[in-house]
Amino acid sequence: MNFSDLNLITPLLSAVEDSGYTEPTPIQVSTIPLVLSGRDVLGCAQTGTGKTAAFALPILQRLHQEPLNLQKDEKLPIRALILTPTRELALQIYESFETYGANIAITTAAVFGGVSQNPQVQKLKKGVDILVATPGRLNDLIGQGHISLKKLSIFVLDEADRMLDMGFIHDVRRVISHLPRKRQTLFFSATMPDEVEKLAMTILHEPETVKVDPPASTVESIRQLVYLVDKVNKKKLLPWVLNQPEVTSALVFTRTKHGADRVVRELSREGVKALAIHGDKSQGARQEALTRFKSGDIKVLIATDIAARGIDIAELSHVINYELPDESENYVHRIGRTGRAGLEGDAISFCCYDEFDALRAIEKLIGLDLPVVESPWPMEVFTSTKDPDAREHRADRPRSSSRGHSGRGRGSGSGDNRRRNADASAKGKNKPAKGENASAPTQKKPGSRNASSNQA
C-alpha cells in the first residue's frame, strides 16, 4: 500500500515524502479513508506507530477542501481542535500539522499553560484553522472570549483514555459543551480500559472502531526486562546500567517530582549528567530539558509521567523505569517512547519488593511475563519496606547466597510467583516455583541487544 492509494491530495503526498515516509503504517491505512469520509473514529494502535499522521493528514485535506464562505472581514474560524494531556505533546502535534500541512494554506496554532498567553492570543486574533490545546489553557481562553469553537467541524482527543479519566474529564466536558453537536469526533490512544471505552462511546457518534493491535500491547521491537532490586540499591544500579555501552540515550521514569530531582542529584554524584522534567519545573525549563535531550546534548533525562505519553524522541535507545508506574497503562506509554517508527529499543524496569503488585498488574495488562535478569545488586530484602518488622525479615547473608532466588532469566513467571520465590529465598529455599524454569538462567547484561524476551 502506498500513500497515493489513500486518496490524499498531491501537496500532502509531497509533505509525506519530504518526511521520509515510504508507506503508510497500518493505523494510517485504516484510519485515513474513514476520516476523509467524515466518520467518527475510535482508533487504538501501539505507541510510535504513526497515529498523529493518521488523523493530521485527513484533517488537513478535509479543511483544505471544505468551502469557507467567509463574510467580508470575517475572521477565519477554528475548524479543528486537537486536545492533548501535556504541553509538550501539544507542541509536538502542532509541529506535525505544520510539517504535513507545509504545502497548503491551512494555519495551525497551539495553546497550553505555563507560558504567557499573549503570543497565543495574538496568533488566535489573526485567525487559525486548527488549534492544538491542553484543556486548562483552552478553557481559560474560551472564558476570556479569545476563542470561539462554534464553527468547529472536527474534534480530536489524543491520548483519549487519559483525557477521559478523572484528572481531565471535567475540563474535557467543559470544552465539549462549547462544541457544535454536529461535528466529526476522533479518539486515539494506545491503551483503552473498558470503562473508558464505554464513556468514549457516549461521546462519539456511530463511530468506526479501529484496533490495529490488541489495546495495551507493546511493540515487539522493544526488548523488555526487569531487575529485582532493593529500593536502597536502585541508586547504585542506575549509573551501572547507564554506563553500559549500549545505552546511547535513556529516559528514566520516577513516580514523583521529588524522586526525579533526587535521581538527578544521585547521578550527579556518580558523575552522570542528567536533567529532570516534571510538573514543578517552569515550562521554559521543561522545554529546554526536552530539547537538549532530543538533540543529544544530554544523554539522560529523568521524567515523571508527564513525559510518558506521545513524546517522540528520535532513536531513543533506552527507557528505564526507576520506579514502576501506579497505573499499568502508563508502563505501555512510558516504554513506547522507544522502539518507535519501526526502530528497536530497550525497556528496563527496576522492581523492589513493594512493587511486585504493580509488576503483576503490568504483566496482566500487556499479556506478557517480563523476563527477570540478575544485576550486581540482587534483591535481598524480601518484605515490604512499609512493614515495621522489615528488619527481622531481612536476608542476613552475603549477596552470593541470594543468587538464584526468583527465577532470573527467561519466562520467570508472574509477579505472584516472583514474590513467592523471593519469600522462599529469604528463608533459604531457592527452589523454583512449579512451572518455572529450573535450569540456571544465563545472566544478561543490561540493555543487551539479545536480552531474552518471551514476547513470542
- Residue 200 found at the interface with ligand AMP (CB under 6 A): no
Binding footprint of ligand AMP, residue count (CB under 6 A): 13
Q: Please answer whether residues 277 and 252 qualify as being in contact, where contact means their C-beta atoms are separated by less than 8 angstroms.
A: no
Q: Nearest distance from residue 327's CB to ligand AMP, in Å? A: 20
Q: Nearest distance from residue 161's CB to ligand AMP, in Å? A: 15
Closer residue to ligand AMP in complex, CB, 21/240: 21
Binding mask 38-67 for ligand AMP (x = CB under 6 A): ----------xxxxxx--------------
Closer residue to ligand AMP in complex, CB, 52/254: 52
Q: Which of residues 306-335 bind ligand AMP (CB under 6 A)?
A: 312
- Residue 11 found at the interface with ligand AMP (CB under 6 A): no
Closer residue to ligand AMP in complex, CB, 217/412: 217
Q: Nearest distance from residue 55's CB to ligand AMP, in Å? A: 9
Closer residue to ligand AMP in complex, CB, 36/179: 36
Closer residue to ligand AMP in complex, CB, 143/214: 214
- Residue 24 found at the interface with ligand AMP (CB under 6 A): yes
- Residue 240 found at the interface with ligand AMP (CB under 6 A): no
- Residue 102 found at the interface with ligand AMP (CB under 6 A): no
Distance CA(37)–CA(210), nearest Å, equals 15
Interface residue with ligand AMP, options 341, 343, 368, 424 (CB under 6 A): 341
- Residue 340 found at the interface with ligand AMP (CB under 6 A): yes
Closer residue to ligand AMP in complex, CB, 53/267: 53
- Residue 21 found at the interface with ligand AMP (CB under 6 A): yes
Q: Nearest distance from residue 423's CB to ligand AMP, in Å? A: 41
- Residue 25 found at the interface with ligand AMP (CB under 6 A): yes
Closer residue to ligand AMP in complex, CB, 48/101: 48
Contact residues: ligand AMP, CB under 6 A: 21, 24-25, 28, 48-53, 312, 340-341
